[in-house]
């Protein structure tokens, strides 16, 4: 994590090329830890990488050495099965040494199959029961407002996840309370464990749905770093209502053998697949 030597504060990165390089490194970490663990969720971790990297390294205020710092921005990975993404980013940001990633999904490891706030400082809330993250984000955003704390809350949801009714109760609540310190992102990769989202339970027209619930809605290419940065800036400028970013993504993004393949929703790479993937990612 880059620091300002004079102030000791974390620098926010706005250079697209640097952010893309961080995203590449994060993808490498994800695939290595998943392969070593022999289980976990490949596709959805890779699809949300670019958005999550942009949030952590271009927008959020936090102190890895003081994870409970009151002035921190909050990040909630509602699609908690993409935990390898969160862990790789936290290692990249300096919350713990990178070699801890080798313990993914091991007994008594802080890196459980879904994020656990009791075992890993820096995880805001335990997630994995889909549909609940936005409700928690609402509570945090309301609490920050009551405390007159200017921190923001970011919440990443899966597109299959928003088939859950609780998400829409939370969407209605956030709009009612005008939670403009809340930014949700839908990782719209089109696939879930049982197949195509449109076949399992169609969510379209997804942008119109959020609009009808009173949200400010932004649609972007979730792998175009400049579009992501612009959308996050727009969300921060938007007052009087919460913002949702509908990020069009590709499941398994970055590695051709994983891209847009539902088989890799909850399957880790085999060693030979990892070797091919690392070549594609320029990390041989």
User: Residue 51 and residue 228: Cα distance in Å, rounded?
Assistant: 6
Q: With 50 as the cut, is the pLDDT of residue 7 above it? A: no
User: Residue 45 and residue 31: Cα distance in Å, rounded?
Assistant: 9
Taking only the tens place, the pLDDT of each residue in 170-192 is 999 999 999 999 999 999 999 99
What percent of the chain clears pLDDT 70, i.e. is strictly above it? 96
Dihedral-angle region of residue 94 (phi above 0 means left; psi in -120 to 50 means alpha; beta otherwise): left
User: Residue 245 and residue 235: Cα distance in Å, rounded?
Assistant: 8
Mean pLDDT (whole number) for 18-32: 98
Identify whether the C-beta of residue 83 lies closer than 8 Å to the C-beta of residue 268. no
Identify whether the C-beta of residue 268 lies closer than 8 Å to the C-beta of residue 241. no
Can you state the angle between helices 225-237 and 16-37, rounded to 10 degrees? 110
Q: With 60 as the cut, is the pLDDT of residue 122 above it? A: yes
Taking only the tens place, the pLDDT of each residue in 194-241 is 999 999 999 999 999 999 999 999 999 999 999 999 999 999 999 999
User: Residue 205 and residue 279: Cα distance in Å, rounded?
Assistant: 38
Please report the domains of the chain, with CATH numbers, ordered by start residue. 16-280 (3.40.50.970)
- Residue 163 makes CB contacts below 8 A (sequence gap 6+) with 197, 200, 201, 203
* Burial group, residue 150, by CB count within 10 angstroms (0-12, 13-18, 19+): exposed
Q: With 50 as the cut, is the pLDDT of residue 8 above it? A: no
Taking only the tens place, the pLDDT of each residue in 70-95 is 999 999 999 999 999 999 999 999 99
Identify whether the C-beta of residue 87 lies closer than 8 Å to the C-beta of residue 101. yes
Using the 8-state DSSP alphabet, how is residue 64 labeled? T
């Amino acid at each position: 994590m880059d620091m300002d030597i004079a102030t000791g504060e974390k620098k926010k990165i706005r250079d697209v090329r640097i952010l893309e390089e961080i995203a590449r490194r994060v993808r490498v970490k994800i695939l290595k830890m998943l392969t070593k663990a022999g289980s976990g969720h490949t596709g959805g971790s890779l699809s949300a990488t670019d958005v999550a990297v942009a949030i952590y390294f271009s927008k959020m205020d936090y102190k890895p050495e003081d994870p409970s710092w009151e002035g921190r921005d909050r990040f909630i990975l509602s699609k908690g099965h993409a935990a390898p993404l969160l862990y790789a980013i936290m290692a990249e940001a300096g919350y713990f040494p990178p070699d801890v990633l080798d313990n993914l999904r091991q007994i008594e490891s802080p890196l459980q199959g879904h994020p656990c706030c009791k075992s890993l400082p820096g995880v805001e809330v335990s997630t994995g029961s889909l549909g609940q993250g936005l409700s928690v984000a609402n509570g945090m955003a309301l609490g920050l407002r009551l405390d007159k704390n200017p921190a923001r809350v970011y919440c990443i949801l899966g597109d299959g996840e928003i088939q859950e009714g609780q998400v829409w109760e939370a969407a209605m609540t956030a709009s009612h309370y005008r939670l403009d310190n809340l930014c949700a992102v839908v990782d719209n990769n089109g696939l879930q464990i049982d197949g195509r989202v449109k076949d399992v339970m169609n969510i379209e027209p997804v942008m119109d749905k959020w609009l009808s619930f009173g949200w400010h809605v932004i649609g972007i290419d979730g792998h175009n770093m400049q579009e992501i940065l612009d959308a996050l800036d727009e969300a921060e400028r938007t007052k009087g209502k919460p913002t949702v970013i509908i990020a069009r993504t590709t499941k398994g993004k970055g590695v051709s053998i994983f891209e847009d393949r539902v088989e890799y929703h909850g399957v880790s790479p085999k060693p030979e697949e990892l070797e091919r993937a690392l070549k594609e990612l320029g990390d041989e």
